[in-house]
């Protein structure tokens, strides 16, 4: 069962349209989450770009265990930064970045905050409701209903659509289901 409050999905669609307006994009355009991060003045670092990162930590994140993490948000001295794993493919990277941005946009308080030895705050645990909200907002930001509908009407294949919007095939499938775009198309074809 969904934990999303009434009207939340519509709020997400409106946010997706409004950020596209801010970035001078049409409502049906793909949204690069890196551009959104810049717009929100959030720094995005690959592991090797983290100031002062120690070699053994970098080695662990990128060589020993690159599959164990996607992205993490840190706050330090009034700066919010997202560390994004460079290893996964573009669809998963975009999803991870949009997900972290969504927690920030929604002003979610993390359930657990970790202090790194040098005094930064690391946040990567949220409650289940916040996770569901962040998933809803991030998938809508990347693939708003209207953009999806236009792409389906143009007859693009699933793989062409996923590539166009920079999303994973799984996210595309989920959005096709949740938005009811396929039902609408079947109905309009009679």
| Footprint on this chain of Zn ion (rule: CB under 5 A) | 126, 131, 134
Please give the Cα distance from 142 to 29 (Å, whole number): 9
Pick the closer one to Zn ion by CB: 107 or 118: 107
Please give the Cα distance from 66 to 137 (Å, whole number): 26
Pick the closer one to Zn ion by CB: 134 or 151: 134
Pick the closer one to Zn ion by CB: 19 or 126: 126
Tell me how far, at minimum, the Cβ of 24 lies from Zn ion, in Å: 29
- In angstroms and rounded to an integer, the radius of gyration of the C-alpha atoms of the chain is 18
Residue 146, CA distances (Å) to 28, 54, 135, 151 in order: 6, 45, 18, 9
CB 33 within 8 A of CB 94: yes
CB 91 within 8 A of CB 163: no
Q: Which of 11, 20, 4 is nearest to 142 (CA)?
A: 20
Tell me how far, at minimum, the Cβ of 82 lies from Zn ion, in Å: 12
Tell me how far, at minimum, the Cβ of 99 lies from Zn ion, in Å: 5
Tell me how far, at minimum, the Cβ of 184 lies from Zn ion, in Å: 30
Pick the closer one to Zn ion by CB: 100 or 147: 100
Tell me how far, at minimum, the Cβ of 108 lies from Zn ion, in Å: 8
Pick the closer one to Zn ion by CB: 138 or 179: 138
* Helix 128-142 and helix 90-105, axial crossing angle in degrees, nearest 10: 120
């Amino acid at each position: 069962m969904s934990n999303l409050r009434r009207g939340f999905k519509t709020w997400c669609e409106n946010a997706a349209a409004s950020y596209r307006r801010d970035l001078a994009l049409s409502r049906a355009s793909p949204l690069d989450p890196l551009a959104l991060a810049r717009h929100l003045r959030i720094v995005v670092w690959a592991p090797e770009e983290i100031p002062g990162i120690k070699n053994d930590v970098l080695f662990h994140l990128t060589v020993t265990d690159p599959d164990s993490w996607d992205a993490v948000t840190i706050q330090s001295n009034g700066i919010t930064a997202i560390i994004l794993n460079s290893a996964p493919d573009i669809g998963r990277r975009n999803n991870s970045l949009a997900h972290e941005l969504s927690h920030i946009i929604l002003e979610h308080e993390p359930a657990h905050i970790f202090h790194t030895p040098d005094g930064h705050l690391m946040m990567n645990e949220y409650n289940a409701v916040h996770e569901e909200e962040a998933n809803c907002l991030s998938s809508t930001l990347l693939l708003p209903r209207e953009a999806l509908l236009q792409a389906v009407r143009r007859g693009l294949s699933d793989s062409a659509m996923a590539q166009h919007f920079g999303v994973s095939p799984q996210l595309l499938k989920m959005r096709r289901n949740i938005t009811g775009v396929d039902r609408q198309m079947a109905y309009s074809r009679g």
